[in-house]
């Protein structure tokens, strides 16, 4: 279904735009997925987003995996983000994921992500206190669950966030009747070695990996997308903290802004695909149909560098 809409306040009105909504009884759809768009200049973000949109105008919605901006209280940066996704955001919905940079004030102190929380009107989660922080939605036969991984940084302001979110998450995953379950979360599930802190061949899981991966196993989550580290990695299927062909697909989605960490992270033993280093920006396209989910990864010039398909 397509709606015509415009925005206005007092005597001011925008132009009319068209907005697509979920296709009725159609399990075939396409979604654009953008990693961290965090930038100090949003020119590259705009170039990447618009190239992805021009090549995928049949997309039904798009996802941004957190750290949308470098500083969550800087309205100039939010203007840069929104300018970068126009006209895409005028025509299809966005599913945002909260990142740690959404919680930073202009003097780089951690605070409630008040600007982010006012920017988007997201599906309700049954708890007004945490509205717009975590949520879920269905599209076709896919249930998307969006987690807030900022419970550690926000503990001073919301000490019960983690426990409340876990209770909500378990209920959310247990009660969906959709064929596919996909989780979106900003922070990653693995720890990575780097020059100052090598891990060698050790497989090490992050705090959020240790918390959430048993829940994903329990409810047979099909795919989990993460961000935060500004690198693209596709992992082996994982279950019970080990490679397992019956496990969940985990993809660290990469980087979409101009803040990069070239060649910083060592390869983790669970990484199945790592792009050539040093990395540039990238985006993903999710294509869903009756029996499969396909994740394709592209460079800014739309060169495909990776693909993986789940079937059921």
* pLDDT band per the 50, 70, 90 thresholds, residue 296: very high
Mode of pairing for the β-strands spanning 292-298 and 283-288: antiparallel
Res. 298 pLDDT band, cuts 50 70 90: very high
| pLDDT value of residue 64 | 98
Which pLDDT score is estimated for 107? 95
Report the distance separating Cα 190 and Cα 207, nearest Å.
Answer: 9
- Helices and strands in the chain, H and E counts: 6, 19
C-alpha span between 119 and 63 (Å, rounded)? 15
pLDDT at 237 over 90: yes
- For 104-116, write each residue's pLDDT tens digit: 999 999 999 999 9
Kindly tell me if the per-residue pLDDT of 127 is higher than 90: yes
pLDDT > 90? residue 220: yes
* Residues 133, 195: Cα–Cα separation, whole Å: 34
pLDDT value at position 206?
94
**Structure confidence at residue 58 (pLDDT):** 94
Contacts of 11 (CB under 8 A, 6+ apart): none
pLDDT digits (tens, 9 = 90+) for 203-218: 889 999 999 999 999 9
Cα radius of gyration (the chain): 19
* Integer Cα distance of 255 and 65 in angstroms: 10
- Cβ–Cβ contacts within 10 Å for residue 248, how many? 22
Structure confidence at residue 7 (pLDDT): 74
Cα 49 from Cα 45, distance rounded (Å): 6
Q: Decide: 239 and 264 in contact? Cβ < 8 Å.
A: no
Return the pLDDT at 60.
Answer: 93
Which residues are within 8 A (CB) of 222 and not within 5 positions of it... i.e. 6 or more apart?
180, 181, 182, 248, 249, 293, 310, 312
Helices 75-85 and 43-55: crossing angle in degrees, nearest 10, is: 30
pLDDT tens profile 132-184: 999 999 999 999 999 999 999 899 999 999 999 999 999 999 999 999 999 99
Nearest to 102 by CA among 129, 78, 127: 78
- Does residue 64 sit in helix, strand or coil? strand
Helix (H, G, I), strand (E, B) or coil at 88: helix
Instruction: Kindly give, in sequence order, each residue whose CB lies less than 8 Å from that of residue 128, ignoring residues fewer than 6 positions away.
Output: none
pLDDT value at 304 more than 70:
yes
Count other Cβ atoms within 10 Å, centred on residue 193: 17
CA distance 279 to 261: 8
């Amino acid at each position: 279904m397509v709606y015509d809409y415009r925005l206005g306040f007092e005597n001011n009105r925008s132009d009319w735009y068209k907005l697509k909504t979920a296709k009725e009884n159609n399990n075939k759809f396409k979604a654009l997925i953008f990693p961290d768009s965090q930038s100090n200049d949003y020119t590259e973000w705009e170039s990447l987003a618009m190239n992805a949109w021009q090549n995928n105008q049949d997309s039904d919605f798009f996802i941004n995996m957190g750290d949308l901006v470098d500083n969550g209280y800087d309205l100039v940066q939010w203007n840069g983000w929104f300018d970068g996704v126009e006209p895409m955001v005028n025509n299809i919905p966005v599913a945002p994921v909260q990142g740690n940079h959404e919680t930073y004030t202009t003097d780089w102190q951690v605070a409630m992500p008040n600007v982010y929380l006012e920017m988007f009107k997201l599906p309700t989660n049954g708890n007004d206190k945490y509205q717009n922080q975590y949520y879920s939605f269905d599209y076709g036969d896919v249930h998307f669950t969006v987690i807030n991984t900022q419970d550690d940084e926000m503990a001073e302001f919301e000490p019960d966030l983690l426990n409340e979110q876990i209770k909500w998450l378990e209920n959310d995953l247990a009660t969906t009747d959709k064929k596919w379950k996909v989780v979106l979360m900003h922070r990653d599930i693995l720890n990575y070695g780097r020059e100052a802190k090598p891990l060698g061949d050790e497989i090490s899981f992050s705090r959020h990996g240790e918390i959430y991966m048993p829940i994903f196993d329990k409810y047979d989550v099909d795919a989990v997308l993460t961000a935060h580290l500004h690198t693209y990695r596709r992992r082996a299927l994982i279950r019970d903290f080990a490679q397992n062909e019956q496990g969940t697909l985990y993809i660290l989605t990469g980087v979409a802004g101009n803040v990069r960490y070239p060649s910083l992270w060592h390869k983790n033993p669970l990484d199945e695909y790592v792009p050539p280093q040093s990395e540039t920006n990238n985006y993903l396209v999710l294509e869903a149909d009756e029996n499969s989910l396909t994740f394709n990864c592209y460079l800014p010039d739309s060169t495909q560098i990776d693909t993986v398909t789940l079937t059921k």
